[in-house]
Structure formats: structure tokens, C-alpha cells
Amino acid sequence: MSNLIDGKQISAQVKEQVARETAALREKGITVGLAVVIVGDDPASRIYVNNKKRACETCGIQSFEYALPGTTSEAKLLELVEKLNGDPAVNGILVQLPLPKQISEQKVIAAISPEKDVDAFHAVNVGKIMIGDYDFLPCTPAGCLTLIDSTGVSIEGKRCVVIGRSNIVGKPMAMLLLHRNGTVTICHSRTQDLKEICREADILVAAVGKANFVTADMVKEGAVVIDVGMNRLENGKLCGDVDFEAVREKAGWITPVPGGVGPMTIATLMRNTLSAAKLQNQVKA
């Protein structure tokens, strides 16, 4: 039976630290603000946005919500982003994805000022991450790194396998593990011998978006297993990419869903917003 990586508890510690630091900034007359933009009425997006707003309250970060109708044009959204770029009360801008079909996500991400891009999706921030000289790390992969670190298992020299190569999870996750001197393999839908590759992993990160995709026979005895997946089952229950009950018998460490990567992603967003405020106010880290 593996050890559980408690994302709720670790994220609470991160948020407490952020709250302490925002309080210290307030004493210097500096407030921290995050603008959250949601377009349309996707129920999952609404839940994420509400969770982010709640986390802001816990952390002493002012949140500004902009809820726009699903029919909003690209030009209107770009206009709002431009306004937020110039608003000194807003240190971070988060545009909840996915966006409706008529709006190009890439255009919107490119319009966000890189200094306020607390999701770290802008090409400037992605490039900085590639060269290892960055201000922010993307929230989900950075959250995964914190969870791996919490186990005490060193990444250096370890076999790391990431399943998934999206721009927001898989690719940056692989890069962060590489920066920490892991030996990294990225798998995707065209990968051959996936099971054999996964079985070599000391650290296995699943970001596929398919319920119970990672089965026990794909996992090395004692491995650290990080489950990024958030899949809604027909009965409404949330479920990860990993067959949790079977894999926990084999892994050394495992994250649950819910209560693993999800809360950690939000805590990392709070940390990034604080970092953005410090950078914009020339406060040393």
C-alpha cells in the first residue's frame, strides 16, 4: 500500500505562506490583485473560477471577476485584456480556458502582458521556462513538482515518464523534470510500447484526460505516481487518469483525485500572483 500525497494539506500550507506574505506587503501599502475572466457558462469552468476566487480570499488577494456572455467577440475580450494590462490594481490576469469557438485562445494569451501572465502560457514565459530563467512556472506542472518534492524522493537521475504532451501540462512538466536533472520521456497517443516505458518510471505523471487509463501493470513497484487527470464519470464523480485503488497497492507514493493536483494548481496560481505583485512593485523575493 502506497503513501498518499495529500494535495489538500500541502496546498493549504502554500496558501498560508502566501497569506503571510500578502499581509506583509499590505503593511508596506502594496495590495495584490488577480483578474479572473470567464466567457460563457461552462459548468466546469464556473467551478474552477469559484475555487480560484475562494483561494484569493484565503490568501488576502483581491479578485476581480469579469463574467462575459458566451457570444462575446474576440475583439471585446482583447479590449478587456488590454484594459487589465494597464490596471495597476491587477497584478495577474487569468483567462479561464476553454474559450468559445469564435475566440482564438492563442491570440488572447498573446495579448496578456507577460508580467501579468500568472498561468505562464504566454510565448515569452514559455520560452523563459525552456531556458530555465523564469519568473513564473505554469500552475499545474509546478504544483506537481511541489507534490513530488513533498515525498522526499529526489528527481535527480531518476527515470521520469510524462504521459501527455499538451502545452499547458505535459510539455512544461517534462521540462521542469529535466531542469531538476530527471531523465525524461514524454509519451503521447502515437507512443509505441507505452506500458513498457511507463513500467520503467521512478516518477510517473499522467496527464491524458482518460479515466483509469494508467493500470497497475503499467507502474513500477515503489514509483511516485502523480495523477493530473480530471475526468467526470457518468455518475458525476470526479476521477483521475490512474486506476487509483489498484495502483496504490503498487506505487510508493500516489496523489488522489480529488485532493491531489487540483488544489495544488490553485495554490500555485496564488503563489504566482504574489510573485507578479512583487516583481511589479520591485519587492525582492
8 A C-beta contact, residue 195 and residue 164:
no
Residue with grid cell 514509483, as numbered in its chain: 223
Which among 117, 119, 135, 202 is annotated as catalytic? Answer: 119
* Residue 170 binds ligand NAP (CB under 6 A): yes
- Least separation in angstroms between residue 171's CB and ligand NAP is 9
Closest by alpha carbon to 197, among 214, 178, 218, 183? 218
- Distance (Å, rounded) from C-alpha 106 to C-alpha 98? 11
For 246, the enclosing helix (H) or strand (E) is helix 244-247
Cell output for 11: 496546498
8 A C-beta contact, residue 261 and residue 7:
yes
- Least separation in angstroms between residue 54's CB and ligand NAP is 15
Q: Is 52 a catalytic residue?
A: yes
> Coil, strand, or helix at residue 241?
coil
* Residue 187 binds ligand NAP (CB under 6 A): yes
8 A C-beta contact, residue 14 and residue 266:
no
Q: Which of 18, 99, 148, 163 binds ligand NAP (CB under 6 A)?
A: 163
Residue nearest to ligand NAP (CB): 166
Looking at residues 105 to 144 of the shown chain, list those that interact with ligand NAP (rule: CB under 6 A). Answer: 140
Q: Please say which residue, 25 or 170, places its beta carbon nearer to ligand NAP.
A: 170
* Residue 207 binds ligand NAP (CB under 6 A): yes
* Residue 190 binds ligand NAP (CB under 6 A): yes
* Residue 165 binds ligand NAP (CB under 6 A): yes
Number of residues that bind ligand NAP (CB under 6 A): 24
Looking at residues 35 to 74 of the shown chain, list those that interact with ligand NAP (rule: CB under 6 A). Answer: none
- Distance (Å, rounded) from C-alpha 272 to C-alpha 217? 37
Q: Please say which residue, 12 or 194, places its beta carbon nearer to ligand NAP.
A: 194
Q: Is 96 a catalytic residue?
A: yes
Looking at residues 217 to 256 of the shown chain, list those that interact with ligand NAP (rule: CB under 6 A). Answer: 228-231
Instruction: Characterise 237 by phi-psi region: left (phi > 0), alpha (psi -120 to 50), beta (else).
Output: beta
Q: Is 133 a catalytic residue?
A: no
- Least separation in angstroms between residue 193's CB and ligand NAP is 11
DSSP 230: -
List the alpha helices (DSSP H) in 121-169: 123-131, 139-150
What is the contact surface with ligand NAP in residues (CB under 6 A)?
A: 140, 163-166, 168-170, 187-191, 194, 207-209, 228-231, 261-262, 265
